[in-house]
Amino acid sequence: MGEIAAYFFDSYAFFEIIGGNKNYLPFSKNVGIITTKLNLLELHHGLFKIYGKEIADKYYDQYVLFAIEIDDDIFKKASALKAVLKKKKLSYVDCIGYIAALSRGVKFLTGDKQFQGLENVEFVK
């Protein structure tokens, strides 16, 4: 049996999967999920605005099992990344997620145009 591929799910990826984007079907089953509670905060907020508390809570609770802890080293590296890539205007949450993916040796799954062309990114629109 082969290994199951794991990805760091950016908030963008969660929204696309929940929204039924067919390009994200390969990532909706039989993959390992890694994320942070910060990404889930973005997901919850977006879903709350569109669908209300019940749906937002449902998906937060479903995915919180995959949230990893963020250590100080990740915060420091994310801060440096934000400074180095300042022209891309990345959010702190995006920088933290990207560095967390690197630190775990998994691809950062997103369709956020700011990440297109960066190493270690699985870019899906």
1 falls within a domain: no
- Domain count along the chain: 1
Q: Does this model's pTM top 0.75?
A: yes
123 falls within a domain: no
Confidence bin at 2 (pLDDT 50/70/90) = low
125 falls within a domain: no
Q: What is the per-residue pLDDT across 69-105, written as a single tens digit (0 to 9) for each?
A: 999 999 999 999 999 999 999 999 999 999 999 999 9
2 falls within a domain: no
Backbone angles phi and psi of 49, in degrees to 5: -65, -35
81 falls within a domain: yes
Any idea which residue has 């919850």 for tokens?
44
Of 34, 39, 12, the residue nearest 24 (C-alpha): 12
Backbone angles phi and psi of 37, in degrees to 5: -65, -25
Dist. CA 90–CA 102, nearest whole Å: 16
**Residue 110 β-bridge partners:** 123
Instruction: Note down the domain range covering 27.
Output: 8-112
Residue 30 reports pLDDT greater than 90? yes
122 falls within a domain: no
Q: Is 28 helix (H, G, I), strand (E, B) or coil?
A: coil
CATH number, residue 23: 3.40.50.1010
Q: Is 30 helix (H, G, I), strand (E, B) or coil?
A: coil
117 falls within a domain: no
Confidence bin at 3 (pLDDT 50/70/90) = confident
Question: Are 97 and 10 within 8 A, CB to CB?
Answer: yes
124 falls within a domain: no
**Cα 63 from chain centroid (whole Å):** 11
